[in-house]
Structures are given as C-alpha cells and as structure tokens.
Amino acid sequence: MLLDQPANVSLEDLEKIVRPLRAAERVAIMSGAGLSAESGIPTFRDTGNGLWADVDPMAVASIDGFYRDPAKVWAWHNDLRSRLAGATPNAGHRCIAELEALLAPAEVLVITQNIDGFHQEAGSHSVLELHGTVKRIRCHRQCGFAAPWEDVIPERCPSCGALVRPDIVWFGEALDSETLERAADAALAADVFFVIGTSGVVQPAAGLAVLAKDAGALVVEVNPGETNLTEFADYSARTSASEFLVALCRALRSAC
C-alpha cells in the first residue's frame, strides 16, 4: 500500500502503522544515505555532487587502494570528514531517537549503512553501524586497538605496529561478522521493520528487510521513489524521511 505525502496522509492511514507499532515488542529501523542527504551530505552515487563524482572509489575506498597508496586513501577520507564537519542530524534522525521513548518499553534498534554518526548525535542509544564510522580509527590488523578520530592520527597501531586506518568497511572487504549477525538477529526478531532512505542495492544490508518480511515483520519503506525493496514492503511512503518521521512521531504522541 502506498502512503501519500505526510501532509495529506489521513489519520486512518497512519493508524495502520501506529497500531502495530504500539503493540510491538521489537522495532528495527534500517537507514541509508537518503536520510543523511537531508542534512546536506551528498550520497556516494549522486550525479554531479556525489562523493564518487570526481574520484575512482577503487583508488580511495578499497582495501587494494589502501595497500597501494595509504596516503591517498587518508587524504580522501580527511576530505570526507571535512565535508561532514559542518553537517548536523536532521529532524529524521531526531524523530528516530524519539521513538525509543514513544515506543517504550519496546526495544528500538537502528541498523545504519551511514558512516556519519548522526544517529548517536541525535540521541539514539542502540545503533549498529554496518559500514563503520568516520568518527573512529582502528588497527588494520584488528588487534583490538580503536580510538576516536582526532586531529593527530598515529601511522602505526600502538599495540601491534600494524597500519592504522579509518574504521570504515571498504570495497573488497566483508562486513564485521558480529555486527552483521546482530543485525540479522534484529531483523528476524522485529515486529515492525522500517527501511528508510535506502535504495536496497547494497548487499548484504538490503537482505535484512527481506529477512524481516519472511520472519513475519510488518515492513514499512520510506523513500521518494521505488526501490529494490518496494515489493517486500507492506507500506511504502513516497516522501522524504524527515517528513514521514515527523508525521509518525506526531501521531504516536497523540495516541499516548
């Protein structure tokens, strides 16, 4: 079922989502680049101003690129951090954080493909970062060393001497197995599963919504256009993430 723009959504339409949300014990929210785009952050594949628009991603965001030229990879990631520095969480991030209180005592878990850390900044407490974060560095050998990304970055791991790198999943690398397992468990256990601002192209993240659907969850997609996951959604809201989430939180507050 398609939902119109929130300004035109009837209370009856939203109630079809609010009712199962109020009864849910576990809610999972998967977010993608479309959510952070509302904070002014280009998506990686946007035409013109996308983060890949003027660079070969295999040269600056792949494990092979890091082996070939770590200095070039660091330079691009430092530029990425500077582009994120002036951005802040938007109303969509804040509404997702508010859902923790509005739906209590239900468990609300965020599964994000984004690397900007905005969910935590907005106040969400349970966040799984599938693709890592630009806020942190770690040992490339994964000896256990990790630290906030500060202005001064050690070239070598202080624990084992391996190269230090951004804590981001690059092309040619698998997702962290523990994080992916926790995300899959959350999808299987969810009563309601939101897919917000993601095209459903990148795997294995896109498969989580299908996993949730097969396990019996109500799947709600929020995206201005159709995606690879539309066929699996029980409801699709053709609008921006923040518009829908603001309307949803307003409806939940009135239902309290």
Catalytic residues: 131
* DSSP string of the chain, one letter each residue: -EE--GGG--HHHHHHHHHHHHH-SEEEEEE-HHHHHTTTPPPTT-TTTSTTTTS-HHHHSBHHHHHH-HHHHHHHHHHHHHHHHT----HHHHHHHHHHHHTTTSEEEEEE---S-HHHHHT-S-EEETTEEEEEEEETT-SS-EEE--SS--SB-TTT-PBEEEEEPPBT-PPPHHHHHHHHHHHHH-SEEEEES--S-STTTTHHHHHHHHTT-EEEEE-SS--TTGGG-SEEE-S-HHHHHHHHHHHHHHH-
- The whole-angstrom separation of Cα 149 and Cα 159 is 17
CA distances from 248 to 33, 93, 242 (A): 20, 13, 10
- Structural contact between residues 31 and 112, judged by C-beta atoms closer than 8 angstroms: yes
Q: What is the CA radius of gyration of the chain?
A: 19
